[in-house]
Amino acid sequence: MRRWRRCGARSLLRRDCHRAGVRVGKRLLIAVLLLILLAGSAMMFAGWLLSRPVPVRIGTAPADLQAEEIRFRSDSGAEVHGWWCPIEGSRGSILLLPGIRANRLSMVERARFLRRVGYSTLLVDLQATGETPGDRITFGWRESRDVVAAVGFLRKATPETKIAVVGSSLGGAAALFAAPELQLDGMVLEAVYPTMRRATENRLRKYLGSAGTTLSYPLLLADAEAAPPDSGAAAAHRVSRGTWLPCPHHQWRRRSQHDPEDAVALYHRAPPPKELWLVEGAGHVDLHRAAGAAYEERLLGFLSRMERGR
C-alpha cells in the first residue's frame, strides 16, 4: 500500500511538473509573439515616419523671382507643381531639387542667387511634398520620374541652353536615379547618400539609436519599391560636363543623418570630370545657408566651367 502511494505521489508530481512546464512554455511563446508584434509595430512606425507625405500650401512665388506657376505630368503618377523663372539671354537653365520632406521654398535663395548671375531656374515640389500629390516619399525612386519630367519641361522651354541639376539630399538621389535617361550638362549633388540601405540606417539611427541599424534590414525588405539596391552613382556618366558633390563635413555622431564618408564613396565611384567639397562645420542642413558666399563662389565656378565645356 505504501509503495502504491509513493508511486501515485511520484506520478502526481510528474504530472504537476509537466503542467508547470506547459504553462511556462505558453508564457514564453506569448512573450516571443508580443516581442515580434512590438518589433513589427516599431518597423511600421519607422517606415511611416520616414515616408509619410508632407503636403504644404505654398502660395505665390516671391516677386523678385518673376516666376510663372507651372504644372506638368510625371510618370510617378503625380502632377508636379513648380515655379519657372526664365531670364532673357539666360546663361543656362538650372533645375533645383529639394531634400526629403522639403519643397520648392527651400530652394528660393539659390534661385535668387542664380537669377542675379544670369541663370534661369525651375523650382519644383517632388511627389508627396509641397503641392505635388503622392501617397508616400520613396527616397528618390518615384521622385526620379518627376526629375525626368522636369528636365523634359526645360528642354522644351529652353532647347538651345545648357541644363544642370542642383539636388539636395533626396533631390540629388532622385537625379541619380533618373540619370540614365537624362542628358545633362552638369549635376550638383549635395549631401547625397551612396545607397538606400545607408540612407535608411542613418535616419533610423537618428531616431532609435543603435537599434535603428537592425530595423533597417526588415524595413528595406518590406518595401522593395522604395528601396532599390543602389543609388546608381555610376549613372552620372550621362552627365557630359561634370559632377560636383558638396557635403557636410563634421565629426560623425550617432544621431546625425549624414556621414562625410557617404560623399567620399560617391565621389570615388563617379566618373570624371568631378569635384568634391567637404563643407567644414556643416551638418545635414542647407549647405547654401551654411556656407554662404563660399557656396555661391564654388557653384558659379562649376556652372561657368559647364558653360565652357570643361
The total of other beta-carbon atoms located within 10 Å of residue 13's CB is 10
Summarize the confidence of residues 61-85 as an average pLDDT.
Answer: 97
192 pLDDT band (50/70/90 cuts)?
confident
Note the pLDDT of residue 76. 94
By the 10 Å C-beta count (0-12 exposed, 13-18 middle, 19+ buried), 156 is classed as exposed
pTM: 0.77
The lowest-confidence range among 88-92, 280-284, 289-293 is 280-284
Q: DSSP secondary structure string, 179-220?
A: GGG--BSEEEEES--SSHHHHHHHHHHHHHTTHHHHHHHHHH
Query: Is the pLDDT confidence value at 238 over 80?
Result: no
29 pLDDT band (50/70/90 cuts)?
confident
Residue with cell 531670364: 87
Give the DSSP H/E element, type plus range, for residue 110.
helix 108-116
- What residues contact 151, with CB distance under 8 A and at least 6 apart? 95, 163, 165, 178, 182, 184
Residue with cell 545633362: 184
Mark 235-255 as b/e (b = at least 16 C-beta within 10 Å): bbeebebbbbbbbbbbeeeee
Domain limits, the chain: 52-195+230-308
* Distance of alpha carbon 274 from alpha carbon 284, whole angstroms: 21
Mean pLDDT of the chain: 79
Residue with cell 551612396: 194
- What residues contact 277, with CB distance under 8 A and at least 6 apart? 244, 245, 246, 247, 298
The total of other beta-carbon atoms located within 10 Å of residue 300's CB is 16
Note the pLDDT of residue 253. 40
Percent of the chain with pLDDT over 70: 66
Cα dist. 26→35, 51, 68, 304 in Å? 14, 37, 66, 71
The lowest-confidence range among 61-65, 94-98, 136-140 is 136-140
Indicate the pairing of strand 120-124 with strand 129-130: unpaired
202 pLDDT band (50/70/90 cuts)?
low
Query: Is the pLDDT confidence value at 237 over 50?
Result: no
Fold of 52-195+230-308: Rossmann fold (3.40.50)
Summarize the confidence of residues 99-124 as an average pLDDT.
Answer: 97
Largest CA distance in the chain: 114
224 pLDDT band (50/70/90 cuts)?
very low
pLDDT tens readout for residues 126-184: 999 999 999 999 989 899 999 999 999 999 999 999 999 999 989 999 998 898 888 89
The total of other beta-carbon atoms located within 10 Å of residue 104's CB is 26
- What residues contact 218, with CB distance under 8 A and at least 6 apart? 43
* Distance of alpha carbon 35 from alpha carbon 43, whole angstroms: 12
